[in-house]
Homo-oligomer: A and B are copies of this chain.
Amino acid sequence: MPIREQQRLDPVEREGIIAREAVSFFAEHGFEGQTRELAKRLQITQPLLYRYFPSKDALIERVYQEVFVGRWRPSWEKIITDRSVPLEARLIQFYREYAEVILTYEWIRLFMFAGLKNLGLNARYLKMLRERAFEKLVEEIRLEYGRPSIRDLPITVLEIEMVWGLHAAIFYLGVRKFIYSMPLETDVNSIIDAKVATFLSGIHTVLPAKETV
């Protein structure tokens, strides 16, 4: 008898449920996934989606917000700049926590779907990542090695490229797992630790000269 009664939910709750399921749904099928199929997964009818979101694009925009904005942790910026902790430990902690968020089925696939569709979303996100993480990170490295601040001597292409390399190594783990469907045979954290170590031992070669006066 109690198979399933019709649900009549509070609008805020319903909207949240739809948004959450949309994240999972579009991550799986891409943004060309059909609203009817999404509705079926939600056990509601398709027109009801349009009661809560004016269009499919609006729903997709909400998915972006939910994942790429909503999952950013401001505490990460503090981790990087907390000079009471050794630099390597800071990097490891940051990348471990960051990896925990982006190395998920939803994050990786949605980011790639968004890129292929191309609105400026990815470039915009990565610009933010550069400002909030990459640049702070290089500044800390400069300080560690007794080099001038990035305020006095702008970040070089090579420095940023080294950071990109580290970022790529981690991100690609997610690509292998969630896009290529290849099981990872290794512990992610240990890879991160190793990559951070190699990164730090290699970066001094591209740092600007010590004396610049």
Contacts and interface: CB of A to CB of B under 8 A. Distances in A.
Nearest to A124: B180
A185 B155 CA distance: 13
Which of A122, A157, A168, A186 neighbours the largest number of chain B CB atoms within 10 Å of its CB?
A168
Chain A interface SS verdict (over half): helix
A197 to B, nearest CB: 9
A123 interface: yes
6 contacts: A112-B179, A118-B179, A120-B181, A157-B186, A158-B186, A172-B172
A198 interface: yes
Contact of A186 (B116, B161, B202): B161
A164 interface: yes
Nearest to A180: B122
A184 to B, nearest CB: 9
Q: Chain copies in the assembly?
A: 2
Contacts of A109: 116
B202 A198 contact: yes
A113 interface: yes
Contact of A168 (B32, B126, B169, B181): B169
Contacts of A30: 116
A172 B161 contact: no
Given A161-B186, A171-B172, A202-B198, A179 B116 contact: yes
Which of A113, A171, A179 neighbours the largest number of chain B CB atoms within 10 Å of its CB?
A179
Given A164-B172, A169-B165, A182 B123 contact: yes
A167 B182 CA distance: 15
Interface in A170-213: 171-172, 175-176, 179-182, 185-186, 191, 195, 198, 202
